[in-house]
Structure 1
């Protein structure tokens, strides 16, 4: 009997702790982010740690760096003042929405394309980077636009990607060589197996930054704009983020951050 009572007590304690934990998670998830940040000037941002130019961990400084990071820092300052803290949490394409909806992060700024499907789960800010599919070529190439790709040219893409599907639509006569990954595709471009490589301009900009003999041409021929994702119901917070972005465009902060990461380029810049 004593054993049974003891077991029931342990079970009851465990159930109570579980319920308290669940209540805490629910409380955090339903918290008014704007009201909290006004009391405690800090915004927790979900960012990529592995995307060159946008969010990349610097192993020497142990700090994450990139365009997304600097935009998040400037939004935080614009909203909450110079002393406000921008805290960064690593996210992946898989984890970012669950972390947002659970209240682990306040917003996602992680090369996230605004889509109708995602709008069912989260709200998006105004566009902060005009992403889309583009072409990477060797400097001096005769290819200056997707329309220059014809039956005599080969374009390189990653196998099974939407980029391969899109290029077939926009350059139906071109030969397409599909490789396993971006590294293989770029190596094939360097070795002359194709005249151009195609994928999102954000990825191509990263490659061009490391390989100055290559450049983007022709602008974007698809539209996949990046937005900041915010949990549904956080209307005041979303409004404040958009106001901060608008002010950054007016006072030149946005242009300054853009030029830092994409010097001498306008690919992806929001006007």
Structure 2
């Protein structure tokens, strides 16, 4: 479903990495078993982090964002914190966040700091640009779809994953099988996401029901306040992995390239992050993170990492 024909370009010139990661800090590496994940996922994640690359000192340019992060001693990351298999916070230990996006963020922290020390900042779709622009966070890892409109306010590294909008319904629904069946239906969407524009384009007679967060949208669906919920496939998959009252139907009907949100105009940091992405993909760590999170449920084959800079806005 996620197979992407775009191939990865070669490592960018000047990216130099060294050795093995230093000892990991307990605040961000303790693992929990996510819904649908195997009991061995914690050990698998530890292996990923222990073999993570660290940037050569020459790449941490004096006065750069990388230098600021290293001197601060932590990477400040905005993410949703409520998406199983993507970025799920452990209620018993708020510093412990796991999933595809969260584990990639830890790998970036290791690349800069030598250890996965991350400060997690909760974010909603409508707050991400502001968090970057005002310097509250260094990066956004939050199933953040790259668009040219967003790229006018912030910058994107990547893309690092290709997803797409999909349709979820209640598990006992047998009449809706995808976007083609949503004409005239009450369709739940999330404010600030591509679904707000894409659903009317595909189904002009659909009646939109906006909600602010993914959990609110899922709750509205299970309570029967809408006929279907259109949201990013990855988020719907993560929600269905822990909620058997909903199911994803049909294939994604759009292409949604995920990017890493960065502050606008910081070309050096964008190049640095893109070099890091290329490195972890070549070393197989990107694939291991996917297997330990999104790949731990369902029968979806491992997707191909998209080419950096391959979509408008990246």
TM-score (normalised: structure 1): 0.68
Which structure's CA Rg is the greater one?
Answer: 1
Instruction: Describe the SS at the equivalent of 2:298.
Output: coil
- 2:258 aligned with 1:222, yes or no? no
Cα distance per residue 1:53-72 (max 9 Å; x no partner):
43333211223333221110
1:138-217 alignment runs, 5 A limit:
138=171, 145-147=178-180, 149=181, 157-158=187-188, 163=195, 166-170=198-202, 182=217, 183-188=219-224, 194=227, 197-212=229-244, 214-217=246-249
How far has the Cα of 1:228 moved from its partner?
Answer: 0.9
- Preserved CA contact (<8 Å) 2:189 2:230: no
**For residues 222 and 267 of structure 1, do their structure 2 counterparts lie closer, same or farther at Cα, with a shift above 3 Å needed?**
farther
Q: Aligned match of 2:153 in 121, 126, 129?
A: 121
How far has the Cα of 1:156 moved from its partner?
Answer: 5.1
Deviates more, 1:97-106 or 1:155-164: 155-164
Following the alignment from structure 2 to structure 1, what is the Cα–Cα distance between the partners of residues 207 and 163?
22
- Preserved CA contact (<8 Å) 2:164 2:253: yes
Deviates more, 1:227-236 or 1:256-265: 256-265
The structure that is helix-richer by fraction is: 1
1:1-271 alignment runs, 5 A limit:
32-37=64-69, 42-63=74-95, 64-77=97-110, 79-80=111-112, 82-83=114-115, 85-136=117-168, 138=171, 145-147=178-180, 149=181, 157-158=187-188, 163=195, 166-170=198-202, 182=217, 183-188=219-224, 194=227, 197-212=229-244, 214-262=246-294, 263-264=297-298, 266=300, 269=303, 271=305
* C-alpha RMSD of matched pairs (Å): 3.6
How far has the Cα of 1:141 moved from its partner?
Answer: 5.4
Q: Which has the higher contact order (CA 8 A, sep 6+)?
A: 2
Structure 1: segments with no counterpart, 5+ residues: 1-30
Structure 2: segments with no counterpart, 5+ residues: 1-62, 306-314
Following the alignment from structure 2 to structure 1, what is the Cα–Cα distance between the partners of residues 223 and 133?
40
- Preserved CA contact (<8 Å) 2:233 2:252: yes
- Preserved CA contact (<8 Å) 2:189 2:229: no
